[in-house]
Amino acid sequence: MSNTILIADDDPVMIKLFEFNLGKAGYKTVACREGSSVLSSTLESHPDMVIFDLVLPGRSGLELIKDFRSHAKLAAMPIIVVTAQGRGSTKDALLAAGADCVFTKPFSPSLLLAKVEELLARQSREGGVL
């Protein structure tokens, strides 16, 4: 069974890029454009990983990381954050809050896919999420 990845980005160009690259690599994707719907979409669709933009309408990426890490069922969910803000302090804050990895836009799809694979393999070794 292929892994499912939830993508949250308010930019449909980014969503199409994620869907295209992840789909080509054999992953199923679920997309949402609102930060405020990420948690409910995750609980509904049971993804194996989430990838979201730092700046989302309704709820920021930083708030979402905290939501996931404090949620009984979602605390172990692998989280990748993508951001246009390349500052080291932003990246450090996201990693300190519990993101597994941070990509600064624009980024290489092949590097993203390699990280997705690595995090899913780790997740599989340590047990499922939901």
Partner 1 sequence: MISPDSVQLASVPVLDEDQIKLLETSAAGDRAFLKDLLDTFVYESQLRLKSLEEHLRTADKKTALQDIHFIAGSAASIGLNRFSFFCRKVEEQLRGGFSLSSELPGRAAAYHSEGVRTLRERWG
- Containing 68, the helix (H) or strand (E) segment is helix 61-69
The verdict on 13 binding partner 1 (CB under 8 A) reads yes
CB of 43 to partner 1, least distance (A): 27
Please name the residues in contact with 19: beta carbons below 8 A apart, sequence gap of 6 or more.
7, 29, 31
CB of 48 to partner 1, least distance (A): 22
User: CA–CA separation, 74 vs 105, rounded Å?
Assistant: 26
The verdict on 109 binding partner 1 (CB under 8 A) reads yes
Give 13 or 72: the residue with its C-beta nearer to partner 1: 13
The verdict on 73 binding partner 1 (CB under 8 A) reads no
User: CA–CA separation, 119 vs 41, rounded Å?
Assistant: 20
Give 54 or 65: the residue with its C-beta nearer to partner 1: 54
Give 32 or 129: the residue with its C-beta nearer to partner 1: 32
